[in-house]
A and B are shown apart, each in its own frame.
Chain A
Amino acid sequence: MRPVLEIENLRVGFQDGTAAVRGVSLKVARGETHCLVGESGCGKSVTALSTMNLLARGAKRSADVMRFHDRDLTRLSDRDMARLRGDKMAMIFQEPMTSLNPAYTIGSQMAEVLERHRHVSRAKGLERAAELLGRVGITAPGMRLAQYPHQLSGGLRQRVMIAMALMCEPELLIADEPTTALDVTVQAQILRLLQELQRELGLALLLITHDLGIVARMAQRVSVMYAGQVVESGSAEALFHSPTHPYTRGLLACVPIPGKTPRDQPLGSIPGVVPRIGAGFAGCAFRDRCTHAVAACAGTIPRRTISTEHETICTMAAA
């Protein structure tokens, strides 16, 4: 089956010469969760934003393939893209307080989505909004519709954001750190909700996170990003049970697992910092921090297949 979203060789550069995304390829199928994981500055959010064509002015985007179903996103006019955005392709962000308009009620903001994309009446929009608020587990939706964002707790606001993203029955949902600002108990509730909705609606979910715990529990497919590249990708099973790239392995060693990680020993850590990647950067961006680095790491490193759909960019994988 053809994936809902297909990206090949995405490149994004900024005006100051920073290469934020350097040849990212990924696919998300219907009903599948694809996690894009990495640390701050690795380009995961820029990848998401460029898919929605929401990059800041001055950013340059190019891709060999960037397709939503059979529509070529690189050729879409701004106007056509605006029609697609919030309709069949929706996105939710980390901080719901900054993505909701503080001056309008929840109901008015939710209904507007349907008015704009489906040209239906306000009353119809509010009806659908109430239905979806109920669906995302908000009790007394009628009361919530009349409230303003500041009257809601963080967990409720994020539920509202999810409900709003579902107004037009999207086929692709991009969620950028949707639970990072929330408490752990609320995080579990929101993630369960996303999973349920996905099963029910057959959503293709592109989930962006820095949290390997979330990746392990949510993803069918994972792409690990480092310095603008996907350094390793594969099924969640493959990534967690046989991680290949030293960066993936390093990341996994950094997070303690209660009851399993020995308490009196230091955690694994990755020395050094992420290099700044300008134009013309060559070789593996991780080599300065890698304990396995050899001379060949400064050259061009081809992408290699380890097993079915498990790929990495590392000289070690050649051996």
Chain B
Amino acid sequence: MIEARDAYRHFSGRTGMFSADRVVRAVDGVSFNLAAGGVLGIVGESGCGKSTLGRMILGLLPPSAGDILVEGQSLAKLDRRERARLIQPIFQDPFSSLNPRQRIREIVGLPLAAQGSVSAAKQRAEVMDMLVRVGLPAEMAERYPAQLSGGQRQRVAIARALVLRPRIVVCDEPTSALDVSVQAQILNLLADLRRELGLTYIFISHNLAVVEHVATEVAVMYLGRFVEQAPSEELFARPRHPYTRALLESVLTAEPGIPIPDVGLGDSYPDPANIPSGCRFHPRCPVATARCRTETPIGPRPGGRIAECHFAD
């Protein structure tokens, strides 16, 4: 359904008037292949490149190298309207992603209007149908975003994303700005809609507990690369990469009596403009050896498993 082939995205820019150009390697060689109906969870810390990758999958940023394909077709070859019919986004913050001066029906109807070929009557019918599907009462159509709660706004964003009946939805931290009780409502809604409409999700999140719950496939991103990728159950049951293990240990589950883990990552922070030699994780890795400083662990392990670590087996 959707495939990335060794996709890169580098940004260059100067930090000061006299400093040299700095190349930020935000996405640094990512490949994946996701079947229709699947959910690819992408997890990683801030600055790992997961949102840049999300924008590339949406076709908003062309890759510097490599390619992203939907149903075998390169995204670069599709025009904006065709892309919109295939892929739609849901963003983190429902407070800034909705135009405060538009009514809900206008917001949800905008993708239809932008297609330029849908009659007004059909637009209205589609919008009302979508509002019902996302669990919003019909009278909300005439309201403005400011009159809605955070959870209701995120439902509006979901309705807008689905009104063109896309095949793929890129959810970038869709519940991070919401309270826990509302987060659960939205996650349940996304799961229902996927089943009803046969959607494929790219689900970007820093919350591993949430990703474990929704994803069929999980990719762990570190400094622009998928350092580990596996079916969700496999990854959570048997993490191979030390970074994945550290992330899993850091999840604080609501179980009292368990101490807070010492993940042992030290206090050096990754910088995508200055990617370490060898294994890019070695400065923080609790099990790194001399080999990790010079030799880059790349490529699938025996058995086809992706885990970019010399000691993953």
Spell out A's residues near B (CB within 8 Å). Answer: 39-40, 137-139, 153-156, 183-189, 191-192, 195, 210-219, 236-237, 240-241, 250-261, 263, 266-271, 273
CB distance from B168 to the nearest CB of A (A): 21
Question: Contact between A258 and B255 (Cβ–Cβ < 8 Å)?
Answer: no
27 contacts between A and B (CB under 8 A): A39-B181, A40-B179, A154-B46, A184-B251, A185-B247, A188-B252, A188-B261, A210-B180, A216-B253, A216-B258, A217-B256, A237-B256, A240-B254, A255-B209, A256-B210, A257-B253, A258-B209, A258-B213, A258-B253, A259-B212, A260-B253, A261-B213, A263-B232, A266-B188, A270-B181, A270-B185, A273-B152
Question: Contact between B259 and A217 (Cβ–Cβ < 8 Å)?
Answer: yes
Q: Which 5 pairs from chain A and chain B are nearest by CB?
A: A213-B252, A39-B179, A269-B184, A270-B181, A254-B184
Q: Which residue of A lies closest to B186 (CB)?
A: A269
Find chain B residues with CB under 8 A from A253 CB.
184
**A189 to B152 alpha-carbon distance, docked (Å):** 35
Find chain B residues with CB under 8 A from A186 CB.
45
Question: Contact between B184 and A268 (Cβ–Cβ < 8 Å)?
Answer: yes
Question: Contact between A189 and B252 (Cβ–Cβ < 8 Å)?
Answer: no
Contacts A184-B250, A218-B260, A259-B212 aside, 15 further interface pairs with beta carbons under 8 A come to A40-B150, A155-B267, A183-B46, A185-B250, A188-B250, A188-B252, A188-B263, A195-B260, A217-B258, A236-B256, A258-B212, A261-B213, A268-B184, A269-B181, A270-B185
Q: Is B265 an interface residue (CB 8 A)?
A: yes
Q: How big is the B interface, by class? A: 35 or more
Find chain A residues with CB under 8 A from B206 CB.
183-184
**A176 to B256 alpha-carbon distance, docked (Å):** 20
Q: Is B208 an interface residue (CB 8 A)?
A: yes
Given A254-B180, A258-B208: A185 in contact with B248 (beta carbons within 8 A): no
Find chain B residues with CB under 8 A from A263 CB.
212-213, 232-233
**A271 to B189 alpha-carbon distance, docked (Å):** 12
Question: Contact between B256 and A213 (Cβ–Cβ < 8 Å)?
Answer: no
Find chain B residues with CB under 8 A from A250 CB.
181
Central interface residue in B192, B206, B208, B269, by most chain A CB within 10 Å: B269
Question: Contact between B246 and A185 (Cβ–Cβ < 8 Å)?
Answer: yes
Question: Contact between B247 and A184 (Cβ–Cβ < 8 Å)?
Answer: yes
Find chain A residues with CB under 8 A from B60 CB.
none
Given A183-B45, A269-B181, A269-B185: A255 in contact with B254 (beta carbons within 8 A): yes
Q: Which residue of A lies closest to B252 (CB)?
A: A213
Question: Contact between B254 and A257 (Cβ–Cβ < 8 Å)?
Answer: yes
CB distance from A281 to the nearest CB of B (A): 19
Q: Is B262 an interface residue (CB 8 A)?
A: yes
CB distance from B176 to the nearest CB of A (A): 10
Question: Contact between B253 and A187 (Cβ–Cβ < 8 Å)?
Answer: no
Question: Contact between A258 and B149 (Cβ–Cβ < 8 Å)?
Answer: no
Question: Contact between B210 and A212 (Cβ–Cβ < 8 Å)?
Answer: no
**A226 to B192 alpha-carbon distance, docked (Å):** 29
Find chain A residues with CB under 8 A from B236 CB.
258-259
Central interface residue in B46, B208, B236, B247, by most chain A CB within 10 Å: B46
Q: CB-CB contacts of B218-238 with A at 8 A, as 1s and 0s? A: 000000000000001100110
CB distance from A271 to the nearest CB of B (A): 8
**A187 to B258 alpha-carbon distance, docked (Å):** 16
Question: Contact between A217 and B252 (Cβ–Cβ < 8 Å)?
Answer: yes
Q: Which residue of B lies closest to A137 (CB)?
A: B267
**A217 to B252 alpha-carbon distance, docked (Å):** 7
Find chain B residues with CB under 8 A from A273 CB.
149, 151-152
Given A183-B206, A216-B256, A217-B252: A138 in contact with B267 (beta carbons within 8 A): yes
Central interface residue in B45, B252, B258, by most chain A CB within 10 Å: B252
Find chain A residues with CB under 8 A from B257 CB.
216, 237
**A258 to B213 alpha-carbon distance, docked (Å):** 7
Central interface residue in A185, A195, A210, by most chain B CB within 10 Å: A185
**A252 to B151 alpha-carbon distance, docked (Å):** 19
CB distance from A260 to the nearest CB of B (A): 8
Central interface residue in B232, B247, B253, by most chain A CB within 10 Å: B253
**A216 to B256 alpha-carbon distance, docked (Å):** 4
Given A184-B208, A217-B259, A258-B208: A267 in contact with B265 (beta carbons within 8 A): no
Question: Contact between A211 and B188 (Cβ–Cβ < 8 Å)?
Answer: no
Find chain B residues with CB under 8 A from A261 CB.
213
Q: Is B191 an interface residue (CB 8 A)?
A: yes
CB distance from A192 to the nearest CB of B (A): 5
Q: Which residue of B lies closest to A266 (CB)?
A: B188
**A90 to B309 alpha-carbon distance, docked (Å):** 44
Q: Is B187 an interface residue (CB 8 A)?
A: yes
Find chain B residues with CB under 8 A from A212 CB.
180, 254
Question: Contact between B267 and A139 (Cβ–Cβ < 8 Å)?
Answer: yes
Q: Which residue of A lies closest to B248 (CB)?
A: A258
Q: Is B183 an interface residue (CB 8 A)?
A: yes
**A250 to B183 alpha-carbon distance, docked (Å):** 13
CB distance from B104 to the nearest CB of A (A): 16
Find chain B residues with CB under 8 A from A138 CB.
267
